[in-house]
Amino acid sequence: MSLSVIIPSRNAANLFVSAGAVRRSDPDADIIAMDDGLSAVPSGVIRIPCPKPFIFARNCNLGIEFAGGDVVLLNDDAALIDGSFSAMQRAAVEHPEFGVISAACATASYPQRPQGTGLRVVDRMVAFFAVLIPRRTIDVVGLLDERFVGYGHEDDDMCLRVRKAGLKIGVFDGCIVEHESLKSTFRSASDIWEQFQAGRSIFRMKWGADAELV
């Protein structure tokens, strides 16, 4: 199965760092930049112009549909520093009970911090800064829900749908990203808290007031 790394971005400096790290570790992977106003893209990176306004779920879905195979959704402020996404893909092939697998990150909240245990189960969800979604998962649960138009909760929603389909959420310690030194493009909006709360409201309307605790 092919592997495509989808990077939503409007910051060319971030993209060159993030895509460069992927190319060094996974030379055979397709890298797809979901262009939200990029001034340039690295050589060999597929560039797909995206409609305005920026919507993470919609832009990722456009990349997922273009890719056709297994995909990694990678924030442009996250850079691979150890292991490879192809190793994470192989772990998914060996363990088809997993529907979504995240890379580890030292600055992430628990449980996405590295624990040196290989592929491990997460009870509820993982944040989508660097996640593998096998094509088989997309075939079962569908794409990201584009009703989440602000910041956050499209990942909570996808993980809940994956678990309801009887699949597991995991973290793979053999793939580690750095997610601190690059400046975030999409989390720096002045109304980020309002966007987050709007996403939470949509999530609760869809799944119930207590769904975030499930």
Q: CA-CA distance, 81 to 92, in Å (whole number)?
A: 20
Whole-number pLDDT of residue 189: 60
Which parts of the chain register pLDDT below 70?
A: 185-192, 196, 209-214
Within 10 A of 67 (CB to CB), how many other CB atoms are there? 20
Whole-number pLDDT of residue 209: 67
- Do the Cβ atoms of 179 and 102 come closer than 8 Å? no
SS3 35: strand
- Cα torsion 100, 105, 109, 111 to 10°: value is 50
Name the β-bridge partners of 73: 6, 131
Helical axes 85-94 vs 12-25, angle rounded to 10°: 60
Condensed to tens digits (0 to 9), the pLDDT of residues 173-205 reads 999 999 888 877 665 666 667 776 777 877 788
Whole-number pLDDT of residue 57: 94
Condensed to tens digits (0 to 9), the pLDDT of residues 142-157 reads 999 999 877 778 999 9
CB proximity list for 210: less than 8 A, separation 6 or greater = none
CA angle 170, 141, 91 (to 5 degrees): 30
